Amino acid sequence: MNQTLSANKRLRVTAAVLLIAVLAGAVALMRGNDAQSGEASPTAAASAPAPASASAPAPVPVPAPGSATARTLAATAAAAAPSSNATAKSQSNSPQTQATAIATLGAVRVDRDELMRQLQALPPQARQQLQDNRAGLEQWLRARLAEKALIEQARAQGWQDQPDIRRAVQAAEERIVMQSYLDSVSRAPDGYPTNADLQAAYERAKPQLTVPAQYHVSQIFLPAPLGDADAVAAARKQAQDLAKRAQAPKADFAALAQANSRDETTRAQGGDIGFVPLAQLTPEMRPVVQQMKAGDVSAPVQSAAGFHILKLTALQPAGVTPFDQVSQQLRAALRSQRQELAARAYMEGLLNAGTVSIDGAALNAAFEQSTAATPGPASVARAP
């Protein structure tokens, strides 16, 4: 009996999660359609109450319009939306509908349109990877069939009419409607930010956009732990000899590194470490590399691990990331910041539009009632 009740409880929770996802998807889909038709009227946004000094509660996070989550939920809702018996019967009898089925499990089906919606919601690279991964695609189809079969099973038992599920669905609907409407009245105008706004933001962000100097370094590494005097002496002698050979005119540093370096990660590339800032080099290397010019080969540099013979191939001076490389990120950040401020001001304006009254006695009574209804910690029986 207890196992049956536990199974029913798990099914009830699973069905609630699925129904909430369906509702979220449906609203996300409607929001996407609204976004295509245009944003909120500037007059409506301008008529919003002015912000107050008090901070407003942060909006409840839900999938943003056009996000991958909203698109996925919208596709799920469209695929799993309930239909009437007459519609289901006409679809099952339609040769055209039957022909579009990609996968079936009894009467449950995943049709071509649903699969197309899912694929179109993916980035191009991910879509290509999934196309090349037939096993992964079939695994998704099997999982989707199982989800739809579970939804049908829950509906057949009237699970959507359970009081706790109805409350959960209502709460989810309220959050989605609230956030969707708040987004519509606080959305930044299409022309924002202007080029002047972007340039000003770029100037302010320059300290964070500074790129340190980059040094293109190659090395020949000979291990010699500091505690092993014999190993240090032998490695120093070999390093001095290799440094002289590498500093000779027309010396092939890459060939010397491939033949002698003991650094397994760079030896195959001729000792090439690549472009690195000074901070990524060991403390012993930094002053040496900083004084080198492109093409120079250093004398052996000793560190706690051994000896390094360094060659500086190229140098990129410190600078600021160009405007063109960050303009899109700046635009998105400014629009998001403006919408957040407008949403906060709109919420504060709603509070300031009237008089807020809080019944302290009723509030205390609610807390007392909730405390009385919450079971306390289980007592532990002690042996006498």
pLDDT tens, 223-235?
Answer: 999 889 999 999 9
Among 7-11, 119-123, 187-191, 332-336, which is the least confidently predicted range? 7-11
The residue written with tokens 């919408």 in the block is 339
Joined tokens for residue 77: 């809702």
- AA identity, residue 312: L
> 361 vs 351, 354, 356, 358, 374, CA distance in Å?
22, 22, 16, 9, 20
Question: What does pLDDT average to over the chain?
Answer: 79
For the chain, count helices (H), then strands (E).
15, 8
Q: What are the b/e assignments for 285-312, b being 16+ CB within 10 Å? A: bbebbeebeeeebbebbbeebbbbbbbb
Joined tokens for residue 327: 């303009």
Q: Give tens-digit pLDDT for 309-318.
A: 999 999 999 9
363-369 long-range CB contacts below 8 Å, 24 or more apart?
A: none
Q: What is the pLDDT of residue 22?
A: 43
Pairwise CA distance, residues 330 & 198, whole Å: 7
Are 221 and 307 a contacting pair, CB within 8 Å? Answer: yes
Q: Which of 134-138, 252-256, 371-375 ranks highest by mean pLDDT? A: 252-256
Q: What is the pLDDT of residue 63?
A: 39
> 88 vs 94, 149, 311, CA distance in Å?
10, 15, 73
Q: Give tens-digit pLDDT for 132-172.
A: 898 988 998 999 999 999 999 999 999 999 999 999 999 99
- AA identity, residue 213: A
Q: What is the pLDDT of residue 227?
A: 86
Q: How confident is the model at residue 377 (pLDDT cuts 50, 70, 90)?
A: low
Among 5-19, 172-186, 209-223, 229-243, which is the least confidently predicted range? 5-19
Q: What is the pLDDT of residue 128?
A: 87
Sign of CA dihedral 255, 260, 265, 271: negative
The residue written with tokens 């959960």 in the block is 168
Strand locations in the chain (E): 101-105, 108-111, 210-211, 214-223, 272-276, 301-302, 306-316, 319-320
Q: Which of 66, 334, 64, 67 is nearest to 191 (CA)?
A: 334
Q: What is the pLDDT of residue 226?
A: 87
Average pLDDT of the segment spanning 192-207: 95
Angle in degrees, CA 255, 247, 302, rounded to 5: 90
- Helix, strand or coil, per DSSP, at residue 252: coil
Are 2 and 137 a contacting pair, CB within 8 Å? Answer: no
Asked whether the predicted pLDDT for residue 6 surpasses 90, the reply is: no
For 275, phi and psi rounded to 5 degrees? -75, 125
Residues across the chain: 384
Q: Report whether the peptide linkage leading into residue 49 is cis, meaning its omega lies within 30 degrees of zero.
A: no
Among 101-115, 170-184, 327-341, which is the least confidently predicted range? 101-115
Asked whether the predicted pLDDT for residue 68 surpasses 50, the reply is: no
Which one is predicted more confidently, 371 or 217?
217
Q: What is the pLDDT of residue 119?
A: 87
Pairwise CA distance, residues 189 & 173, whole Å: 27
Are 219 and 308 a contacting pair, CB within 8 Å? Answer: yes
Q: Which of 2-11, 43-52, 350-359 ranks highest by mean pLDDT? A: 350-359
Joined tokens for residue 16: 């609630």
Rg (CA), the chain: 33
Give the distance, in angstroms, between the CA of residue 63 and the centroid of all CA atoms in the same chain.
13
Asked whether the predicted pLDDT for residue 82 surpasses 70, the reply is: no
Asked whether the predicted pLDDT for residue 209 surpasses 60, the reply is: yes
Pairwise CA distance, residues 135 & 141, whole Å: 10
Q: Which of 17-26, 144-153, 365-374 ranks highest by mean pLDDT? A: 144-153
Give the distance, in angstroms, between the CA of residue 149 and the centroid of all CA atoms in the same chain.
30
Q: How confident is the model at residue 213 (pLDDT cuts 50, 70, 90)?
A: very high
Which one is predicted more confidently, 161 or 76?
161
